[in-house]
Amino acid sequence: MNNSNASNGDSKQEDSHSTKAIPDYKVERLDFPDNQVKKMVQSVVFGIFRFSATLNGFALLIVVYFMVSNGLSAITWEFLTQPPTDAMTKGGILPCIVGTFCLSLGAILIAFPIGVASAIYLNEYARPGRTIRIIRLGINNLAGVPSVVFGLFGLAFFVVWMKMGVSILAGALTLAAMSLPVIIGSTEEALRAVPDTYREASLGIGATKWQTIYRVVLPAALPGILTGGILGISRAAGETAPIMFTAAVFYTPYLPSSPFDEIMALPYHIYVLATAGTEIEATRHLQYGTAIVLIALVLGMNLAAIIYRAKLRKKMS
Amino acid sequence: MKTNSQTTEKVIQSIFFMIALASIMILLMISVFLFMEGIPILNHVSLWDFIFGIYWYPTSEPPDFGIYALIIGSVATTIVSASISIPLGVMTAIYLAEIASSRFREIVKPIVELLAALPSVVIGFFGMVVMAPLLQNYLDIATGLNLFNASLMLGFMSIPTICSISEDAIYSVPTNLKEASLALGATHLETITRVILPASISGISTAVILGMSRAIGETMVVLMVAGGAAMVPQSIFDPVRPLPASIAAEMAEAPFRGEHYAALFATGIVLFVFTFIFNLVADYISNKYRQVGDSTL
């Protein structure tokens, strides 16, 4: 047993006679100095990998911990159900909650169908060639467009040119444009993960292309597509820059009654209170409180979707 | 009847094709409207002076519209944050996809997904009220709102993007490649560095692009944490004013379709062109090394 190839062959032969030979073979393999060094390097590198993974987990916990420990006292029933009072130094954040809900729901209603359909075309219909190259390049570049540039675009196009004014509609459209690449990307990833044998089996028993997509590919890819939806909606709900010029205002005492109303939104409210308010220190607890509500809303949605997806996966397998 | 269903299929396919063009249409519209609103600034200042002018005093009389310091601010924050997020993100992705026990994976993967969902304004707020005083006290510097703090926050914001997309790419490497490598006697680490990473490099590049473009375009964090001084930084603890921060902070005060308004749109064009070129280069790289089948490693 001088090298691992030989020992591999030996152990297989011995395996058929008696299983006792296997521990011997393992010990001998470990005795090679080369193997030992490799093993050590490997465990050190894997340790570093494990550390970075753990660090990422802790990053979230640290942020959430500081928000909750500082802001929990601000969360009361009044805080959640009343509008701000006394020049936003007291009172609640109801208009902001409603505003963020309207914006993210509007954005996802617009972006999700378009995103999923785009991904279906790219992954199921399109043949390799120049057209698909250009479309992909477009999506990659759209994903790279900075959020504040979406804000400028929304201002110039939806607010000014289409005369929507600063409104929910303009904000939702801007957010939809922004979350489109996220949805397309993860839907495509999900579709790609569906084995070709599924498609071949379906086409083989006489289904058309569309029937195959609708009845076979989409159900199999659903958990992954939902991931895309989650990523899209959470981006839309948490973004501030795109709605700064298109939908959100400092203060409005009214709840929205039409898509053309301007609104308050949670992320923008945090920014306003933390940087532009007249009483920045005095409203600290309101800032923490608003941050908790935003985190709870966004992370809650995500958590629900993650759990749902896990259940779906179990059901499929 | 056969021709009927074939027509239906054709119609469905062309509908999907039209929808797939939406992204390009949006991209075109963005460029058209940015240029429409931004180009008028060239009536007041030359292109050279706009890009390389070191004074940004848009509201003084006469105003100075030079964004050189803002560009340097953006580049610096992006580079420092990438040096944090790329190694951490890719290593986490490898660990989760290849090494971690399913139990560890089941706990950490959702947490990383939740980290991605954390709104940027919350991270900016955290940087402002928690990290800034901490840095100021422990490092004994003038202000905790600076280049380093902003980069740190940006780094942790782009990790989830880099991590989850890289992980998908690593995870979708065919198992037979991995098995072949292990069967030849390679260790797990060798298999990862020589087989799995090369096979998933196009996906990892995409992940890095998306992560870095999130960092360079991220507005709220740099608006709240970077300090806002329109100067070329001398150290990583100097306050800076990256391009997006300048746009977001000043747009509300800029008179509609005035010089300042146009200058901010022009700043947006610079930011847009920046990410556009960046993405083209990255796209070229990822396509060049794209794995087509099992045999093209």
Write out pLDDT tens, residues B140-179.
Answer: 888 889 999 999 999 988 898 899 888 888 888 888 888 9
Query: Which residues of A fall within a CB distance of 8 Å from B104?
Result: 50, 53
Query: Which residues of A fall within a CB distance of 8 Å from B9?
Result: 208-210
pTM of the model: 0.83
* Chosen from A30, A40, A152 to mutate, greatest number of chain B CBs within 10 A: A152
Range with the largest mean pLDDT of A32-36, A156-160, A235-239, A244-248: A156-160
* Chosen from A39, A148, A287 to mutate, greatest number of chain B CBs within 10 A: A148
User: Residue B76's pLDDT is what?
Assistant: 93
Whether pLDDT at A17 is above 80: no
Residue A317 pLDDT level (bands cut at 50, 70, 90) = low
Query: Which residues of A fall within a CB distance of 8 Å from B95?
Result: 46, 49-50, 52-53
Nearest-Cα distance to chain A for B293, in Å, is: 13
Using alpha carbons, select from B282, B89, B297 the residue that is nearest to residue B173: B297
Query: Which residues of B fall within a CB distance of 8 Å from A287?
Result: 125, 129
User: Residue A2's pLDDT is what?
Assistant: 44
* Chosen from A8, A149, A266, A268 to mutate, greatest number of chain B CBs within 10 A: A149
The structure tokens 């309101």 sit at A286
E strand or H helix that includes residue A91: strand A90-91
Q: pLDDT by residue (tens digit) across B70-89?
A: 999 999 999 999 999 999 99
Q: pLDDT by residue (tens digit) across A174-185?
A: 999 999 988 998
Give A85's strand partners. Answer: A90
The structure tokens 């209170």 sit at A273
Q: Is B167 on the interface with A (CB under 8 A)?
A: no
Question: Between chains, do B8 and A193 touch, taking CB under 8 Å as contact?
Answer: no
Contacts 24+ apart (CB under 8 A), A130-133: none
Query: Which residues of B fall within a CB distance of 8 Å from A41?
Result: 189
Whether pLDDT at B14 is above 60: yes
User: Residue B295's pLDDT is what?
Assistant: 44
Question: Between chains, do B251 and A122 touch, taking CB under 8 Å as contact?
Answer: no
Q: For residue A234, what is the nearest residue in chain B, using CA coordinates?
A: B117
| Residues B287/B209, Cβ–Cβ less than 8 Å | no
User: Residue A4's pLDDT is what?
Assistant: 43
In 10 A of CB A91, how many CB atoms? 15
* Chosen from B2, B16, B171 to mutate, greatest number of chain A CBs within 10 A: B16
Lowest mean pLDDT among A281-290, B32-41, B110-119, B281-290: B281-290
| CB proximity under 8 Å: B 103-142 to A | 104, 107-108, 110-126, 128-130
User: Residue B260's pLDDT is what?
Assistant: 92
Query: Which residues of A fall within a CB distance of 8 Å from B73?
Result: none
| Averaged pLDDT of chain A | 83
CA atoms within a 13 Å half-sphere pointing along the CA-CB vector of B265: 29
Task: Taking residues B225-253, report their average pLDDT.
Answer: 90
Q: Is B277 on the interface with A (CB under 8 A)?
A: no
DSSP B144: S
Question: Between chains, do A53 and B123 touch, taking CB under 8 Å as contact?
Answer: no
Q: Is B250 on the interface with A (CB under 8 A)?
A: no
Q: What is the dihedral of CA B35, B36, B41, B44, to 10 degrees?
A: 130
Structure-block tokens of residue A190? 């999900």
Whether pLDDT at A152 is above 60: yes
Question: Between chains, do B12 and A210 touch, taking CB under 8 Å as contact?
Answer: yes
Residue in B12, B99, B244 nearest the CB of A148: B244
Find all residues with CB under 8 Å of B162, minimum gap 6, and list them.
Answer: B85, B86, B89, B90, B93, B207, B208, B210, B211
User: Residue B2's pLDDT is what?
Assistant: 55
User: Residue A294's pLDDT is what?
Assistant: 92
User: Residue B109's pLDDT is what?
Assistant: 85
Q: Is B95 on the interface with A (CB under 8 A)?
A: yes
Using alpha carbons, select from A144, A60, A49, A54 the residue that is nearest to residue B90: A49
**ω into residue B62 within 30 of 0, thus cis?**
yes
Residue in B88, B112, B185 nearest the CB of A4: B185
Lowest mean pLDDT among B172-181, B183-192, B276-285: B276-285
Lowest mean pLDDT among A254-263, A288-297, B1-10: B1-10
Q: pLDDT by residue (tens digit) across B47-58?
A: 999 999 888 888
| Residues B284/B218, Cβ–Cβ less than 8 Å | no
CA B158: distance to chain centroid?
A: 7
| CB proximity under 8 Å: B 52-71 to A | none
Question: Between chains, do B159 and A56 touch, taking CB under 8 Å as contact?
Answer: yes
Using alpha carbons, select from A99, A244, A271 the residue that is nearest to residue B253: A244
Question: Between chains, do B220 and A271 touch, taking CB under 8 Å as contact?
Answer: yes
Residue B296 pLDDT level (bands cut at 50, 70, 90) = very low
User: Residue B15's pLDDT is what?
Assistant: 93
Integer Cα distance of B66 and B47 in angstroms:
10
